[in-house]
Amino acid sequence: MSFFVETFIGGLLAGVMYSLVAIGFVLIYKASGVFNFAQGSMVLCAGLTFVTMRDRGIDFWLAGLITLTIMVAIAIAVERVVLRPLVNRPQITLFMATLGLSFVIEGIAQIAMGASVHELDLGIVDTPITVGEVQVSQFDLVAAATAGVLVIALSIFFNWTRVGIALRAIADDPLAARSIGIRLQTLWQIVWGVAGFVSLVAGLLWGARQGVQFALTLVVLKALPVLIIGGFTSITGAIVGGLIVGASDSLAEIYLGSLLGGSVSTWFSYVLAVGFLLVRPTGLFGDAPIERI
């Protein structure tokens, strides 16, 4: 029983890490209706930039600040060069454009900073804490707490600041929002910038866990089922979806994997997500679109 609980809690905490990446998607999807596949390469780019600067002996906070500046610069460039010309295009075109964009970011980031695996030490001690009979990774707890703080900060930002309210107006009805003088372009840049910040945090935590390397971009594929389950438009959904995916993944790997011969975690979350979709076609917390004929 304690093994079950341990797997379950480990899964939940891993799920928080997925949520962290998924939040970046939700932000951009809400503001610009783009499913941003380049989020994974943004995570990689942030991680690589940070770790390269740390290797050169730059101070932790300064490195973070420079990385953040670079991420915001990328965000602004993406808005100018890619999003603005593609406005009013079908969703799938935008999706493919971000996929092309991810090639560009990954290519350039690796040209500039190399493709080898970098160790990243954030100074978090990773000794398991024992509660009763259950062992919990300390690093995972810190990651979960960070994600929690991030979510609360983002919720405050989007619910109570002027920018946040403008953003909700845009998500609701872009035309009406523009007609009352909300600047769509500026908001997009802000949101992509915030998403850059989120990918910096995700890049640091994921990088510290498994090394900063190309495989970081694959985190996107884990974040997708999280989004399907939680809905593309809800930050709460991203968190809940992440917890569900994380927990079910690690349980499935242990209990179902032994029946089917292993590595079920590559697809299990997707099948689970389809199951959720069949019951709730727009995810747990997603908005159902209204169709008129």
Partner 1 sequence: MTAIGTDTIEGFGSTDETARSWLRIALAVALLAGLAAVPLVANDYWLNAVLIPFLIMSLTALGLNLLMGYAGQASLGSGGFMAVGAYATYNILLRLPELPLPVNLLLGGVISGLVGVIAGLPSLRIKGFYLVASTLAAQFVLEWLFNQYGWFSNYSTSSSISAPRLAILGHDLSSPTGRYLLTLATVAIVTVVAIRLVRSQTGRTWMAIRDMDTAASVIGIPVAAGKLKAFFVSSLVIGIAGALWAFAYLGTVDARSFNLDRSFQVMFAIIIGGMGSISGNYVGAAFMILLPILLDHVGGAVFGGAIDPGQLENLQKALFGALIVWFLIKEPRGLAALLSRAWTQLASRFER
Residues that bind partner 1 (CB under 8 A): 35, 81-82, 85-86, 89-93, 95-97, 99-104, 106-108, 110-111, 115, 221, 224-225, 227-228, 232, 260-264, 266-267, 270-271, 273-274, 277-278, 281-283, 291, 293
Give yes or no for a contact between 239 and 19, defined as CB atoms under 8 angstroms apart. yes
Tell me the β-bridge partners of 130.
135
Nearer to partner 1, 180 or 293 (CB): 293
Q: Which is nearer to partner 1, 80 or 138 (CB)?
A: 80
Query: Which candidate, 111, 110, 68, places its Cα nearest to that of 214?
Result: 110
Report in angstroms how near the CB of residue 232 gets to partner 1 at its nearest. 7
Name residue 7's amino acid.
T
Shortest distance in whole angstroms from residue 113 CB to partner 1 = 10
CB atoms within 10 A of CB 218: 11
Query: Three-state SS string across 70-134, please?
Result: HHHHHHHHHHHHHHCCCCCCCHHHHHHHHHHHHHHHHHHHHHHHCCCCECCCCCCCCCCEEECCE
- Pick the closer one to partner 1 by CB: 3 or 103: 103
Q: How far is the CB of 262 from partner 1 (least distance, A)?
A: 8
Q: How far is the CB of 215 from partner 1 (least distance, A)?
A: 14
Q: Rounded to the nearest whole angstrom, what is the least distance from the CB of residue 131 to partner 1 in the complex?
A: 35
C-beta of 35 vs 197, nearer to partner 1? 35
Contacts of 209 (CB under 8 A, 6+ apart): 17, 139, 143
